[in-house]
Amino acid sequence: MIDKIRNTVLSLISKNNRGYLTPIEFNLYADMAQLYIFEKDFDEYSKSIVKQNNRLYNSEYSDTPKFLRERIDRFVKYVTLSYNSTPKTFSYSDTDIYKIMNLEYNGTDIEEVSKMHLNKLKKASSTTVDEKYPIYTRLGNDFSVLPITIVSGVTCLCIKRPKAPNWTYTVVNGNPMFNQSAGDYQDFEIHPSQEVELIIKILGYAGLTITSEQVMQFSKNEEILQETKKQ
């Protein structure tokens, strides 16, 4: 997808006499665009749930929450947390975690409580916190889990950030040529349905404002042109 998007972006920039994007500039704008669209999906999902609860979606084909959830689910993963004896906490080493959704202990959900509530639970003699009903509180990127007898088996359900796209190339006759076999090649990770939105956002960072209809019409014209050349 990344090569197709770059070709479209460069063609539109050239068509509008906006100069040229170097591979470094394209990769930078591509990363910014992907992250912007990725984060926007969460806001749109929240709004769509409100509309769904108000019965504003009335058919299977307009199930916007489901469609957005499928786009977000591409980034859901489980991470096994490491136990730290001093202090007695669990932590993760992954650097791509965007959002923590849930903690589990051997398949049992661990309930999150506030630090203030945690102190009250510790003092309340009538409250039982055991391995059947574990709780946790978050301390930065660490998690304090009770009871303290839990020292392993804790996993984290989370959403990871999409990897930074990288259009890789080799120089041929002074021109960069796409090289998908490069070791650091990385395509876009967001859903293919967001291709037009990516193009528009990258063009925006490059200083060119364009609508989705214009992008789709341009792409259609390019396809017709390519088919004509094959004949």
Structure confidence by residue, pLDDT tens digits, 50-102: 877 776 655 555 678 888 889 999 999 999 999 998 888 999 989 999 999 99
Residue 112: both structure tokens together:
């999150």
* Dist CA 127 CA 71 (whole Å): 41
Query: For residue 39, which of 156, 162, 170, 133 has the smallest C-alpha distance?
Result: 162
* Residue in the block written with tokens 């051997």: 106
CA 74 to chain centre: 8
Helix (H) or strand (E) run with residue 135 in it: strand 135-139
Are 176 and 26 in contact by the 8 Å Cβ rule? The answer is no
pLDDT of residue 186: 97
